[in-house]
Amino acid sequence: MHLVGFSLGAQVAGYAGQRTPGLGRITGLDPAQPYFEYKDPLVRLDPSDAEFVDVIHTDGNSVLTLGFGLFQPSGHIDFYPNGGKKQPGCATFNNTDGQYHLSTGCDHGRAPSYFFESINGDCEFKAYPCDLWDIDYDPSKCNYCLQGDCAVMGYEADKSGLRGTFYLETNSASPYCTK
């Protein structure tokens, strides 16, 4: 069985997995942050909730700056597209006032969009192994793979057998996957 949950649904999938021994897989799509980040694994999605837990982080900014998603790694494999905090195309420039305007929830909503595209698209979301520190401060260090250590974000994430944190870049509009 494979549970897929978005935001609070990802946290609920963790609870379900906790109570379902032997659950095969949980995919967390930008798990909800408020009241979950850095809390006991019993109350949030974590690797013990299923045999394989993969997570796509897209809106890991502080809740004080309207970040809704969990930045903390919470799976066997965690993907941080575009650094996991801001997604390209979610802040728009207004020519009238010369300001950038954020679309509340856009970054958070990208995780399901990426996952759906990984099923329906014809491109693999190739992700590079990366230390969480580098993702947060210098993702340019995360743009190469040694033989066999790149993962694929999305539906096929379980095929590689890889674990850890991974970085990738996406396009600002659909198709999001870069070739």
Sheet holding 77-81: strands in order across?
A: 2-6, 25-29, 52-56, 77-81, 164-168, 125-129, 151-153
Q: Which SS3 state, helix, strand or coil, does residue 133 take?
A: helix
* Annotated catalytic residue within 7, 107, 118, 158: 7
* Annotated catalytic residue within 59, 108, 118, 158: 108
User: Is 118 in the active site?
Assistant: no
* Annotated catalytic residue within 30, 59, 78, 158: 30
Q: Identify whether the C-beta of residue 49 lies closer than 8 Å to the C-beta of residue 26.
A: yes
With 0-12 / 13-18 / 19 or more C-beta atoms within 10 angstroms meaning exposed / middle / buried, residue 116 is middle
User: Is 30 in the active site?
Assistant: yes
Count, residues in the chain: 179
Q: What distance in Å separates the CA atoms of residue 29 and residue 108, rounded to the nearest whole number? A: 9
Active site (catalytic) residues: 7, 30, 108
